[in-house]
Amino acid sequence: MGPKVWLCAALVSLPTPLLAQSARFADRPPVIDLHIHAPMAPGSVDESLEALQSRLGRIDSLNIRAVMLTGVPDVLHPWREILEEHVTVVPGLLFPCIEGRAVMHGRPCFEHGGDWPDMAMLRADIEAGRVQAIGEITTQFLGLSPSDAAFEPYFALAEEYDLPIFVHMGPAFPGVAYPGATNFVVPNYRGAAGNPLLLEDALLTYPGVRVVVVHAGWPRADEMVMTLHQYPQVYAEIGLLQYSDFFPRAEYHAFVERLVRAGFADRILFGSDSALTDGVEVGIDAVLEADYLTEDEKRAILCDNAARFLKLDERTCR
């Protein structure tokens, strides 16, 4: 069995413990959250797992059917073990790092101390099913285009194993490039590196790779529309934009509606950009209150589009 066939079979057969319980959630639409973070800041893994345990009730109360969990290895794998007892989990590796630490928050990334994962170890993790997505990819925090030569080997790996890639393209904390703005200084972050059209060279070189533009390239709605129009393997994830501390709700809706008016409601993905915290419900409610979306479009954004993108069991969103 070749690597692509093996991985597709693994994804389709992922445990879906909530499917049999769907009747319990008639008042909540099914949800796939494509942007759950394991901790990016330094700290005890055990303490983070205790915090996660306290949040697991949201999986049931919000009718979450699957999550894409991103993180660095020391927390990614134990978080996945807990989460997959309750929900389908697609684990993704977060990189590149800066001076061996996760962007903005500073958690040590890899045992070898580098900024990029060792290719042999990553390949082994993919073949063992420990990594099933590439991302969240943080090239923007290094001021790099996702089509930069440094990232090309990972596009090639994604093509070989039919892995989806999740690329951060959009906002960070205001002032992130200045000392003191975040826990870990990110002097090379560039807004210009968040233009979705920078993906073009990589998309043309690796046309079979499925790509998620994390944060949908905000504020570049027109560039996002052009990318969606030209490259059918690209989807837009709208996580972070729902947080009113960063964006007025009117801006959230204006941006999302621009993508919908262009005909791409079937390529928008829900993500909370949270650690299974309050941002999940805030994000879901932002979709549900959108008067420019039909009920079918709301369900598509919250679940159906992601199930199709991830090649999950067709029952996941029922």
Please give the chain's pLDDT, 318 residues, in tens: 454 444 444 444 444 444 444 444 458 999 999 999 999 999 999 999 999 999 999 999 999 999 999 999 999 999 999 999 999 999 999 999 999 999 999 999 999 999 999 999 999 999 999 999 999 999 999 999 999 999 999 999 999 999 999 999 999 999 999 987 777 879 999 999 999 999 999 999 999 999 999 999 999 999 999 999 999 999 999 999 999 999 999 999 999 999 999 999 999 999 999 999 999 999 999 999 999 999 999 999 999 999 999 999 989 999
Residue 316 lies in a domain: no
State the DSSP H helix or E strand holding residue 290, giving kind and residue range, or none if neither. Answer: none
Residue 187, domain CATH: 3.20.20.140
pLDDT of residue 181: 74
CA 76, CA 94: separation in Å to the nearest integer? 9
Nearest Cα to Cα of residue 67 among 286, 291, 280: 280
CA 146, CA 131: separation in Å to the nearest integer? 20
CA 302, CA 175: separation in Å to the nearest integer? 31
**Could you give the C-alpha distances from 139 to 94, 96, 263, in angstroms and in order?**
10, 6, 29
Residue 286 lies in a domain: yes
Distance of CA 35 to the CA centre of its chain: 4
Residue 315 lies in a domain: no
Residue 301 lies in a domain: yes
Nearest Cα to Cα of residue 39 among 87, 67, 77, 71: 71
pLDDT of residue 26: 52
Strands (E), 64-192: 64-71, 88-95, 133-137, 165-168
Q: Are 79 and 40 in contact (CB under 8 A)?
A: no
Residue 245 lies in a domain: yes
Phi first, then psi: give them for residue 221, nearest 5 degrees. -65, -40
Supply the range of the domain harboring residue 301. Answer: 3-15+28-310
Domain tally, the chain: 1
Predicted structure pTM score: 0.91
Residue 22 lies in a domain: no
Q: Are 218 and 251 in contact (CB under 8 A)?
A: no
